[in-house]
Amino acid sequence: MIHDPDFMRRDGMVWWACTCGADGEAGSLGVAAFEWVGHVRRADAADEVSRIGVEQEALECSIGQETAQGAMVTRAIRNMVTEVARFDRAYGGVYDWAEDDFPGTTDPYDLDALLLEAQRVQRAARIVEQRIKEAFQQEVQLNGAVRVGGTVYGDKPAKHRVLQDPDGLAEFLGADWRRGLRVDMKNVRIEGVKALAASRGLDAGAIEDSFFAWEGEDGRVLNPLPVDGKYTPKWAKALKEGERRR
């Protein structure tokens, strides 16, 4: 006999039980129940397959639309960046947009997608730029500073001193300000400040710590210097094209 005429559904499965006949075979009710349950299972499975098929089709359609839009956005940004970079390489200055240089859309969602992709490209470009600088720094650290075109590439410590109390420093320098400044408070000669402190009988290190703070991390970074720069060292200005200072 069937213990539960309504059967039991657990976790989406149909459970059933029946007694067996004296000869060890399932009784008639058991066979009928088995056939009925099999029908229910087949019907449920067909419904489930149908439902999954509909959901899968909708998902693939959505993915297809997103993929198509993503490809359009990527292609548009690539074309614009390529054209603006070509102009900058050839002429420099501000790019003069032509009507057909920009995608012909005013849809907010399209513009939002374009903006996000442009920002993504900017982030990627910064990461690539940083990696190039790291490789360049390692090269000049190993082989020496080198002049390439109008730039001398060397390296320097990443950690450096930054003026944190300009008013206090100006008061400390007083009439001797020329000994500590190059031109203005943005160009301070720390060694000049320390020398002035020592000449007054003060602790140069303590004076330095009073007006300057350390900024940056340990290690070294690339240090590009324009050959004709106002504060470029004389040795860098004297380098010839491709020449190194080891």
pLDDT tens column, 49-102: 555 555 555 545 544 555 666 788 888 898 999 999 999 999 988 998 888 888
- Taking the domains of the chain in order of start, what are their residue ranges? 1-104, 133-245
The rounded distance, in Å, linking the Cα atoms of 73 and 180 is 54
pTM higher than 0.75: no
Give, as one character, the DSSP assignment of residue 203. -
Do 241 and 149 contact (CB within 8 A), yes or no? yes
pLDDT means per 10 residues in the chain (246 residues)? 41 40 44 44 53 54 57 87 92 87 86 92 96 96 96 92 82 71 64 86 88 85 93 92 92
> For the segment 208-222, what is each residue's pLDDT rounded down to a tens digit?
888 888 887 889 999
Name the residue among 169, 189, 180 with its Cα closest to residue 231: 189
Nearest 10 degrees: Cα torsion 227, 233, 236, 238: 90
Taken in order 111, 114, 118, 123, the sign of the CA dihedral is positive
Span between the terminal Cα atoms of the chain, in Å: 97
Question: Quick one: tokens of 53?
Answer: 């098929």
